Every structure is written in C-alpha cells, then in structure tokens.
Chain A
C-alpha cells in the first residue's frame, strides 16, 4: 500500500502560538487587504481539544515558516468558522491544520510518521497529505474551506 505522507513533519515542530487572530464565529469573508480571511473547517470532532492552524504564503516557506498561526477550542459542531489574520501582503496562502485531541500541542504521529490526530489542508490535499501545490488558495475574499480527515 502506498503510505501516508508523514504529516508529522508539518505539524510536529512546535506548539502553535496564538497570534492574536480574532475568533469571530460566522464572520463574513474578509478581503486579504485587511490581512484576514474567513476559514470554514468541516469534519471537526466537536468539543475535543483544539484546532491548530498554520498559514504559509510561499512554496519556499511551506511547512517551514508560517505567516500566521492560530489555535482555538473545537466548538460544539462539526463545522467551525473563524477569521484568520496576519495575512497582509500575501496573494495566496496554504493552510495546514490538525486537531490536537490530547492537548499536547503537537500533532500525534505513529512510529512511521503517520498522523494519529485529524488533519486538514486548504485546497485539495488528496488522500495522503498536502503540499504547497495542492494546498494553496487565492486570497480573494472567498471563504477558505478545509475538511478535516475522516
């Protein structure tokens, strides 16, 4: 079987820090000139741990240096909407997410690097994990939709 891409490399660096991006439930999509975008996450495990969000602005910095990071408690529903700020100056972005179920600030992974906690990406990450190419989306005021893994 083809393996899962080791997503732990994406998430296992450090605990994501809260950057002051506002959590605004049901906020409208906001244009990137404002430095913020609305993110809608599906398939969230309700009320379990926190969503950890990282935004990358270029292929070179993808999975290496985030332009924005955010963590917020998983809400009561399977769909969660929030505003992610700190994106000023970017024309496109790729988001990577995981749901920190055990609260250790790191994405759980097994001994071969497969994620053991739900993960997600903007764009169309496919079955086995995201890349810059599959994850990038334009910051044009549209809502960025992410589906967490099944």
Chain B
C-alpha cells in the first residue's frame, strides 16, 4: 500500500473543484455515479474507475517504443485494488478493492500483458450475490453473517511476487493467494499446513539472494514470522508477542541474522463504525515508532527499539554493520492522514493534502538498545514506494528508488516522477513523467552480468492521461534523469496498483 501523498490532489483542485463540492458534502463518500461524473471531467481519474468482474480480464501485446534490451527477459508483476464498484455501489476506501494481478512478460522483442482479478472466496461470494456484501476495511455492509476469519474478506490486493513456480497475491491480514504464472488462474489460499489456515502472510516478504522468502503477519497480540525455502516449502513458522498489540505491521526488513519489523503507533479498529470510509485508523498519541528486531532462528531472542513517533508504511532495507548496528531505511510521515482521509478522498475523486513524508535512516544499536534517526535529503515534495537492488536485500544498499514529487504545485499528482537517492552523498536524481502522468512504484531489475547497484534497469508503470493508457517504462538506473529508454504502451488503462516484483526468465 502506498502513501500516495496527495495523489491527484492539485490536479483535481484545478480541474474539478467546481464539480467536486469542496464544502461539507465533499467529506461524504462518493457514489459510483458521483465518481463517474468526476472522472468524465478529470482524465487522471480514469484508473480509479477500476474493472468489473465480467470484463476485468485484460490481455494484450503492448506497443513498443524505444529500445527494449534483448538481455531483459522475465515477468514483471503488479497488484492493486481493481474492482472498486459494483452496480451503484462504490467502495469508500481505496484499499477495499479486490486485487488484480498484472503480469508483463518481457522478452523476444515483445511485452505481453495479462491482468486477472484474484478469484478470492470474497470475490466469488459477491459475484454470486451480484453486489458487495462483505465488510471491507473502509466500507461496511450491515446485516451480514459474521466473518469465518480473515480470508473471508481477504482481497489479495497489495502485492504480487513469483516464487518457487507460483505467483503470490498478497494482502496484509490473511493468507497469500497462489496463482499460476502461466495464465494467472487462481489456485487458492496458500497455507502450507492446515493449522496455518488464515494466518496472516503480509504483503511485503523479503526474498534474499539465496531465494529464501521471509515474512511476518500480525494477529492482535501476536506476531507470526514465516520462512519459506527456495523450493517453496515452508521451513518454519514462529510466534512471538507483539510489543504493540493490535498495531499495524505492514512492512518488514531482513538482515543476515535478523528480522526487523517496524510497528508504527497506528491502530485499526475494524469494528468501529465508519464515516464514509473514515475513522477506523488512529495514531496512538504518545506512542513511539517501535522497531522489533528478532533473531531469524529464534524470534524469542529480540530487542525492541523506540524511535520518535512516526507513521511508517514502507522500509527500504536493513543491514547489519561490523560494529553491531542495524541500519534501517524507511519512509516516515508525521501522521496517518492518508490512511484515514487520503485514500477516501481518492475514491471520491476529490483533492486532499496528505502531508509530508521523508526518507529516514535509523541506526539501531543492538548492544545498548539505543537508536538514532537521521533524515535524508530529497524528500521536499514527498516520496513513497522505496525499493532497492534485489541482490542487496539484507545487505548494505547505497541506492534507493522512490515514486516522488517535487517542485511547486503544478496541478498534478505528487507522484509524477521517479527518484533515485544515493544515501552516501544525499544526491538525488529524478525523472519527471509530466503533469499528465501518475507514476507508480518502480523496481530495480539487475542487468545480466552487472555487479554494481546501478548496473540495473528501473521498471515501473505510469498512467498516461493524454494517451489514456497504462505505460510500462524502462529506465537505466545509472541515468534516471534521462527518462525511459524503452516503453510498452498498453491499449487500455489498468487500475492504479500498489506493489510488484520482477522475476527473471
């Protein structure tokens, strides 16, 4: 999930303010009709119309522009909330939508796209009913039976990763769903063992250089840790008590010996009544940003660090230093207004100020328990979606790439560009996709035979409002500022997504 700071905010303010009711009524959730009217006036909103479950499948060969390197071969996956409305119903909160996995097959001079909704139990139930019936994160449907467990409302909508011959479509609160890499058909929840049914497998597992997959899940007072081997078999599941019970646990890092789990002071109350999608997320005043560091081989051996209060969705990386520190990079924010307000405003198609965000580096002293936090430059307009070179996961990584915005307001999404940060020098390099574009997460793809972090491409999608098309972009990590060296233009618009990963062929 992203903190899409002010996504579309200025653009909407400029283009749609008269029609979007900036007074009290603007605080109400949008109906499907309201949103359609807004989208008709603002081309940037098209991706938020989403897809429906009868015409949601997408298959096309992209139009190629520029030079796609022959050495780049593989499958790029993305995931995000895609089914956002049924009939006249429209979800209030962006995170409510049903997940849709996008696959871009790259190679042999072609880029072939396939998109499929994840056929979750929740989606099948609502297909049968012909309407939304399952309570979602920010939208309630009163009078429904109690939930059998989190997988009964699991939307599998947050990230996608191919591992050990299957695609994992991941959410935060329940099982990952398995999909076929061949045709993206849904295989069902991945539980490995019966007693692990419905146990949360969060959306940000870390794949180390040896192919081991590490992950966490948060269940009230407990934290679950997962270790899946390179062959896809479950190696070990461990449980430990959460130092912040009931708090959000979204992303995690892995080092050579540790699992590093930030626990921001944010709580979600799924039972609270919503006000048009709001009021279920709240920062806990006076609570610090905790970082739970656990030994991989025995999570009971742990240390909890307390950092100044900050909201945190995503980490960049973590690594251990020779002098006993763990260095953790992440994107921090002063509050969670995006969760409580921004993601609701987005669904209503109205502007919103999500506040600042910044790149932080925390140094966690494992011997003393002390922590220092350093703010890094390059966050003047807001950043999110931090990613690193995949072969540096858990090791020292110098460069981070982000979705970013900068400069004076120009009537566009804050996420109009991609930005590379050199954490050693503080230097940033950027490429601006322009005022008619929404830039999404970009990932590092190592060049074959490359050794350095910047011997890589950056791969990411952009919604081009002028073309009314989703475009896959390839940049050279060493020359980000030059912009795409190649593009693949789809003949349609994909719903905005959250996260993804590349798997080499």
A binding-site residues for B, Cβ under 8 Å = 1-4, 42-43, 110-112, 114-116, 118-121, 125-129, 147-150
Contact = CB atoms under 8 A, between A and B. Distances in A.
B195 A119 contact: no
Contact of A150 (B134, B173, B196, B237): B134
B222 A115 contact: no
B220 A3 contact: yes
B146 A127 contact: yes
A144 B199 CA distance: 32
A147 B146 contact: yes
A2 B150 CA distance: 9
B239 A114 contact: no
B219 A129 contact: no
30 contacts: A1-B174, A1-B268, A1-B270, A2-B220, A2-B268, A2-B269, A2-B271, A3-B222, A4-B219, A110-B196, A110-B197, A110-B198, A111-B199, A111-B224, A111-B239, A112-B199, A112-B224, A112-B239, A116-B198, A118-B148, A120-B145, A125-B146, A127-B147, A127-B271, A147-B146, A149-B148, A149-B152, A150-B147, A150-B148, A150-B152
Given A126-B271, A127-B271, A149 B147 contact: yes
Contact of B149 (A2, A116, A148): A116
A119 B307 CA distance: 41
A4 B271 contact: no
B338 to A, nearest CB: 17
B461 interface: no
A9 to B, nearest CB: 13
Interface in B223-279: 224, 237, 239, 246, 248, 268-271
Contacts of A114: 149-150, 198-199, 219
A127 B270 contact: yes
Contact of A116 (B134, B194, B200): B194
Given A119-B146, A119-B148, A150 B125 contact: yes
Contacts of A115: 148-149
Given A4-B150, A111-B237, A126-B271, 10 more contacts: A1-B150, A2-B268, A4-B147, A110-B197, A111-B239, A114-B198, A118-B148, A121-B146, A127-B146, A127-B271
Interface of B: 125, 134-135, 144-150, 152, 172-174, 194-200, 218-222, 224, 237, 239, 246, 248, 268-271
Q: Interface residues of A: mostly helix, strand, loop or mixed?
A: loop
Contact of B173 (A1, A111, A120): A1
B268 A128 contact: no
A150 B145 contact: yes
Contacts of A125: 146
A3 B219 contact: yes
A12 B16 CA distance: 56
Contacts of B221: 3
B219 A128 contact: no
Contacts of A42: 145
B418 to A, nearest CB: 30
A4 B222 CA distance: 12
Contacts of A2: 220, 246, 268-271
A121 B200 CA distance: 24
A2 B144 CA distance: 18
Contacts of A150: 125, 134, 144-148, 152
Contacts of B239: 111-112
Interface centre among B174, B269, B270 (most CB of A within 10 A): B270
Contacts of B219: 3-4, 112, 114
A110 B148 contact: no
A103 to B, nearest CB: 15
Q: Most chain-A Cβ atoms within 10 A of its Cβ — which of B150, B220, B224, B246? A: B220
A81 to B, nearest CB: 17
A2 B135 CA distance: 13
A150 B172 CA distance: 20
A119 B270 CA distance: 19
Contacts of A127: 135, 146-147, 270-271
